[in-house]
Amino acid sequence: MSIVNRLLENIAEKVTLSGELVRDEIRAGLSQTRNALRVQGASARPVYPNSLVHGGPSRLVGWSLRETSGSAPATVTVYDSRDASGDVLATVTVAAGATSNHGLPVSGVSAGEAVFVAVTGAVLGSLYLGAVD
């Protein structure tokens, strides 16, 4: 095999790899859309007891939670997982009848797999999730 053929094979391999990288970037960008628009800020996702809030990678950038029973505190634990077995991203305790509104500094906390919440008590609110960059 001549040097020219080796160079052409090497170039073809690099072009193929480059195309795959571009497709992966486009796929990741499209997964961070709402109503066909790229998510620029945070997306509010409702918190339901012991549920998957988001099924893919994202960034936790804040929350707004209200304890609704008025008689006992509520605790929300946020996991980087599809269930309560993953790494804990945040634990928020909301006093009886109170609210907790918090934005995380800079770019938030990355969730590499998914975002799951475990809730004890009665709580209503949302987690704010940012796009994966």
What digits encode the pLDDT tens for the residues 13-38?
Answer: 888 877 777 777 766 655 666 676 66
**C-alpha pair distances (Å), 51 with each of 1, 48, 54, 77, 82:** 59, 6, 9, 11, 8
Q: Do residues 96 and 73 make contact, with C-beta atoms less than 8 angstroms apart?
A: yes
pLDDT in tens, 81-126: 999 999 999 999 999 999 999 998 878 899 999 999 999 999 999 9
Identify which of 17-26, 72-81, 123-132 has the greatest average pLDDT.
Answer: 72-81
pLDDT at 88: 96
Q: Could you give the 3-state DSSP secondary structure of residue 58?
A: strand
Model confidence, pTM: 0.70
pLDDT at 130: 85
pLDDT at 27: 66
